[in-house]
Structure 1
């Protein structure tokens, strides 16, 4: 099915914090969460150590890698693109599968994850942003998980409409049983499969396929919040913090953040026609080929070019004098865009 060019979903946005008020605030650390994350990382480090010893079977390492890809797609392709931004639509069986993948990644239920991320987009890099990068790299990476939310986040999250999420029975079911599902799919199942099917030690399977894989997935996601708001070029909008960070894109398998904040409704999360690729886009396109995904939303090339020339930092090829698109003929790029 041809991609939809829904104007309302794809309207370029510029983030503003005008509605957010400044107030005296003392960060309150939640020490139980600090202890939990220390424990989590110690188990992950032991799992990482086992990956380089004869204790871990090759099949277990492959299994852990596949779970990383599966869970990563559940976050980037599912909670992010499908549910939070409505960048494409999927039929019921595929939504169930993606919800399972998102639960394997265990980063909060779909409803909560999408709600917080919508707040992040509307109030990016302000006190209302749950992972505000202006509070430092450590805070935007992991620190925000270990302290109480800023009062402005608590106030402004109520302004975000998330009623559409509860119209999906998959989201409702996952939210209702999330704790049990997360323990089973993130911790128990990843360890049980290597132990049962190819005789891996249950201890090794747990520390490698459950704990190390889980923490690695967490950091791959968190790098978008930290590195993706700190380092890199801003070819689409130099006025915002989100940047096209090679580090963040590498671990997220192709999510380019400056483009995404400029055009949040584009399912590609990167401009097609460049040398960039995204694992998650390949998967979505594959399911579209199978007929399980439809209404993929993209931004036309002429809209991207206009944004680059108007607000970009000058690093995009469109901004270069010898770029053929600057002649005014953007037919070739538009054709590529239309055929996605």
Structure 2
């Protein structure tokens, strides 16, 4: 159960918050949007609205000191420190620069944003922990630590990789090549991650270093 729940819930981040809402790489009817919102809530990262806002700021200021996940400061910063440190002094100004009207017109996204404080603990923790105890006779101790704590931690770190994977997949923090360099089309390991920052609307670009592969891409194609 933890594995299946983790994989399915990550669709809310990859196919949902990232490819659908942040970059509009495809369109989706309300049943699919509702499913992806539920999946995203199960991850327990933050609301889709806030996730997209952060990600659009990340793209706008990619590789600069104002990038909330600046890869040039290394994997530890991009993956973890950036999540807990004080926001950039110009954060409020950055937020005003980002057009979020598309998400504000999506009633499902805004419902999640408004009631995230309630939806997250119920969908991310209470229901997943209770199910093994209620239906499969698992002990509350095992369910809490395996389905609750372990699954949540692993899934959360996989979700964070969407922001920090550019370091993992081969961009050297000292690399001076910018995201608008034509060298990206060589598509070597060093420059491949830059492709997403040139063409963010390509739904084939995987979050974990792949292209045209992966569960999220397959789901979108279907």
TM bracket (short chain)? 0.7 to 0.9
Measure how far apart 1:281 and its partner are.
Answer: 0.9
Q: Could you state the TM-score of these two structures normalised by the residue count of structure 2?
A: 0.85
Q: Could you state the TM-score of these two structures normalised by the residue count of structure 1?
A: 0.57
Supply the RMSD in Å over aligned alpha carbons.
2.6
Residue in structure 1 matching 2:197, options 256, 261, 267: 261
Residue in structure 2 matching 1:175, options 105, 110, 113: 113
Question: CA offsets per residue over residues 222-281 of structure 1, 9 Å max, x none?
Answer: 2343342355269xxx5339x9898xxxxxxxxx733321210111115xxx98512101
Measure how far apart 1:221 and its partner are.
Answer: 2.4
Hey, what does 2:46 align to over in structure 1?
108
- Bigger proportion of residues as helix: 2
- The whole-number CA distance in structure 2 between the counterparts of 1:284 and 1:191 is 29
Whose radius of gyration is greater, 1 or 2?
1
SS in 2 for 1:161: coil
For the pair 1:135 / 2:102, whether they are aligned, the reply is no
Structure 2 unaligned spans of 5+: none
Hey, what does 2:178 align to over in structure 1?
239
| Alignment map for 1:273-292 (pairs within 5 Å) | 277-286=213-222
Hey, what does 1:146 align to over in structure 2?
84
Closer, same or farther: CA 227–94 of 1 in aligned 2, 3 Å: closer
Hey, what does 1:191 align to over in structure 2?
129
Point out 4+ residue stretches in structure 1 off by more than 3 angstroms. 243-246
Residue in structure 2 matching 1:122, options 36, 60, 63: 60
Closer, same or farther: CA 275–94 of 1 in aligned 2, 3 Å: closer
1:233–1:245: 8 Å Cα contact kept in structure 2? Answer: no
Structure 1 unaligned spans of 5+: 1-62, 247-255, 287-340
- The whole-number CA distance in structure 1 between the counterparts of 2:72 and 2:92 is 18
Closer, same or farther: CA 278–231 of 1 in aligned 2, 3 Å: closer
1:127–1:152: 8 Å Cα contact kept in structure 2? Answer: no
| Alignment map for 1:1-340 (pairs within 5 Å) | 63-229=1-167, 231-232=169-170, 238-240=177-179, 257-269=193-205, 277-286=213-222
Closer, same or farther: CA 128–191 of 1 in aligned 2, 3 Å: same
- The whole-number CA distance in structure 1 between the counterparts of 2:154 and 2:112 is 23
- The whole-number CA distance in structure 2 between the counterparts of 1:174 and 1:265 is 24
Matched length: 209
Question: CA offsets per residue over residues 199-227 of structure 1, 9 Å max, x none?
Answer: 11112111111211111112112234334
Closer, same or farther: CA 81–231 of 1 in aligned 2, 3 Å: closer
